[in-house]
Amino acid sequence: MHGWRIVLELTAQQVAERTGITRDTLRRIEKGDRSVGFGNVAQVLRAPGVLEGEIAMMAEPIEPRLESLRAAARTRK
């Protein structure tokens, strides 16, 4: 993530503000701290557009989307 942030010329403060996480959490994500929750990681990846679509939505509660996920799975078969 650090590499993407630098390439996109985003400061740690900008990413933290865009994602609603603290700079400390961002620092932990960039250092590969495995104790950071997946939701926070997905939010950070979503900020510069690294993750989009279904992958990014995995961090959101699944209950409201459960039926559409089931329908998509049936369609793939």
Mean pLDDT of the chain, nearest integer: 76
- Report if pTM > 0.75: no
Q: How confident is the model at residue 45 (pLDDT cuts 50, 70, 90)?
A: confident
Q: Give 40 or 62, the one with higher predicted confidence.
A: 40
Question: What DSSP designation does 9 have?
Answer: T
Q: What is the pLDDT of residue 25?
A: 94
Model pLDDT for residues 6-43, shown as the tens digit of each residue: 877 888 998 898 888 999 999 999 999 999 998 888 88
Q: Taking a C-beta distance cutoff of 8 angstroms, is the pair 41, 29 a contact?
A: yes
